[in-house]
Amino acid sequence: MEMNKQAKNELRKSMLAVRRGMNKEQVAAGSRRFAAHITAWPVYRAAKHIMMYLAMPDEPHMEQVISHALAAGKTVCVPHMRETRGLMDAAIISNLDDLVVGQFNLLTPDPATLKLLDPAELDLIIVPGVAFDQQGRRLGMGAGYYDRFLLKANKAELIGAAWAAQILANVPIDDHDRPVNYLLTEEGIFTCK
């Protein structure tokens, strides 16, 4: 178990370095390709309640997808981190202006107007990760927000979102990690083995 923890930390460090090596133009161009792939995907098109993440500067950005989903009349949720570390909720947003700058200088739903959706209502969750493998196993940032949240989102289809360079042959996981069924990269959408 301890070795696994160490393996995860080493991998996290090297994968974050890959991500941080990208410049703004690469992130913007890659994010446009992400949006094109996901908005054409039948599973996305059929989904009524979708959860997306709000990206760190070097992650694939979701604003275009959020705008597309809102225009298509879908219910769009983003993570709302609770005071308790490791716990998050699905907060409904009706437009990108509902977001404010929160902790870690990241966009977050406005706590003043928070509306939550029961995770069991979600049809599709776009899950961020530091790395994924071809089987859909995910390495996150290590705080366990998604691991805990996904247990409650039991009918949602899960698609992992990461740059192609973050998709590996194997990711070390623990028993509680729920794998994703699909992977979304700038190169397209792939079904996990």
pLDDT in tens, 131-146: 999 999 999 888 889 9
Please answer whether residues 147 and 119 qualify as being in contact, where contact means their C-beta atoms are separated by less than 8 angstroms. Answer: no
- Cα dist from 155 to 35, 49, 70, 125, whole Å: 23, 11, 21, 10
Alpha helices in the chain (DSSP H): 2-20, 24-39, 42-46, 63-71, 145-152
Contact 173, 132 (CB under 8 A): no
175, pLDDT greater than 80: no
The model's confidence at residue 2, banded by pLDDT at 50, 70 and 90, is low
Is the four-CA dihedral 90, 66, 186, 163 of positive or negative sign?
Answer: negative
Give the chain's mean pLDDT.
91
CATH 3.40.50.10420 fits 2-191, yes or no: yes
Percent of the chain with pLDDT over 90: 65
Q: What CA–CA distance (Å, rounded) separates 15 from 127?
A: 16
Q: How does pLDDT run across 46-95, given as a tens digit for each residue?
A: 999 999 999 988 999 999 999 999 999 999 999 998 888 889 999 999 99
pLDDT score of 173 more than 80? no
> Is the pTM higher than 0.85?
yes
Q: Are 184 and 126 in contact (CB under 8 A)?
A: yes
- Do the beta carbons of residue 156 and residue 51 sit within 8 Å? yes
On whether the CB atoms of residues 114 and 88 are closer than 8 A, the answer is no
In angstroms, the CA 159 to CA 181 distance is: 6
